Amino acid sequence: MIRWLIFVVIVGVADYYAFQSLKTITKNNWWHILYWVFTIAVLANFVIQFYSFSRSDGFSHANSYAIGLLIAMIVPKLILIAIMLGEDVIRIPQAIYSFFTQNSGDGVKHFPSRRTFVSKIALGLAAIPFASILYGIYRGKYNFKVLNYTLHFEDLPDAFDGYRLTQISDIHSGSFDNIKKVEYAIDLINEQQSDVILFTGDMVNNKASEMEPYIDIFKKLNAKDGMYSVLGNHDYGDYISWSNPEAKTQNLEDLKSLQKNIGFDLLLNENRFIEKNGQRIALVGVENWGKGGFKKAGDLKKAASKIDAKDFKILMSHDPSHWDEEVIKDDYHYHLTLSGHTHGMQFGIEIPGWFKWSPVKWRYKHWAGIYKELGQYINVNRGFGYLAFPGRVGIWPEITVIELKKGTKNT
């Protein structure tokens, strides 16, 4: 109840200032009517979808779009509030001063009118996130980007100098609503012609059945040294209600079979060796391990039980907090860890090679791209799909291509 009250207060204040701004720059009643029709329709749809949400099914497309439209409406209004409140910081003291210093009997208006140019500036600035969010919903969620990295290792086996791997993560197939765009992304992955494809978890939102319409599309993926995968937190079906524990268990088994059908070798706290010209690198895959209430099924010691400390090691672990908490502190040296999970929050500002920012940085120390600590690398993939909010703004869906090179960067 308190949450709803806070929500109503925020929306009420936002609409008060937004409508004031609109009235300042136009007296046309049709614009006023359109404003309220749009506002009421978005709010009503959100309330309807909120109360129709099914815990047994998880987020539907209708639920996601209701959230997306609400965000598209609220964020610009919050910008309006900030600007209009700033003007009121000046107007209110002026009104108080005028009240005590001017004779009200002379018909003096104590409260200054809101200035038109301030309203225009506010609406102009508010239009930027409004347009960006709508773009993110309409096109941004399928604006796939191939990000290329070259990483140097002095102890990389000679046979793997120039070895290329493609990483994808966080497919979240239950959110897709455009098969053609997914087909395009799969073709884009294959065009990279990497030696191996690695998938770092969250194939579905909740249920294995979400992936069924896309099985034949993903079966087109191919790499000469195979495809490997691990589980993410959403793959276990922990975020919806099940009719019985057996149904939940069966769902996970169905997902495992589905991954095998696509062509993935699913690593469940296991390892594999990729061999080339008599040399090898170790591929280690753990089940999900995440701090902050997320499932901790990952067992790093078990996953690495059959490899040697001197082996060159690539670890697949869905949640980057695992790297922070266990991996870089482990006795074994994990040369490269591949993670996902954060999605880059699907919102942020990024100028490749120069600047990146997202609110998710306040939750995760390592949230997007390549990081290096204690001589070990991690790549946090921004995700292939999307969840809850049906779009991406500034943080685009990612296909990562990493080339391994022998030696140091300067040689």
Per-residue confidence at 210, pLDDT binned at 50, 70, 90? Answer: very high
What pLDDT is recorded for position 81? 83
The tens digit of pLDDT for each residue in 64-88 reads 999 999 999 999 998 888 887 777 7
> Quick check: 90 pLDDT over 70?
no
pTM of the model: 0.91
Q: Are strands 336-339 and 196-199 parallel, antiparallel or unpaired?
A: unpaired
**Of the candidate ranges 258-272, 324-338, 344-358, the one whose mean pLDDT is the lowest:** 344-358
Both ends of the chain: CA-CA distance in Å? 63
Name residue, tokens 């059959």. 306
Give how far Cα 23 sits from Cα of 30, 80, 130, Å: 11, 13, 19
Report the chain's mean pLDDT, rounded to a whole number.
Answer: 92
Let me know the angle formed at the C-alpha of 377 by 399 and 344, rounded to the nearest 5 degrees: 45
Delimit the domains of the chain by residue range: 2-138, 146-406
Question: Which of 106-110, 262-266, 343-347 has the lowest average pLDDT?
Answer: 106-110
Give per-residue pLDDT as tens, 363-377: 999 999 999 999 999
Task: Please report the pLDDT score of residue 411 as a whole number.
Answer: 42
**pLDDT confidence tier of residue 331, bands split at 50, 70 and 90:** very high
User: Is 107's pLDDT higher than 70?
Assistant: no
Asked: is 146-406 a CATH 1.10.390.10 domain? The reply is no
Range scoring the smallest mean pLDDT among 98-102, 128-132, 153-157: 98-102
159-198 pLDDT per residue, tens: 999 999 999 999 999 999 999 999 999 999 999 999 999 9
Is the pLDDT score of 105 beyond 80? no
Q: What percent of the chain has pLDDT over 90?
A: 76
Distance CA 392, CA 140 (A): 5
State residue 91's pLDDT score: 66
Sign of CA dihedral 208, 210, 215, 220: negative
- Tell me what pLDDT residue 287 has: 98
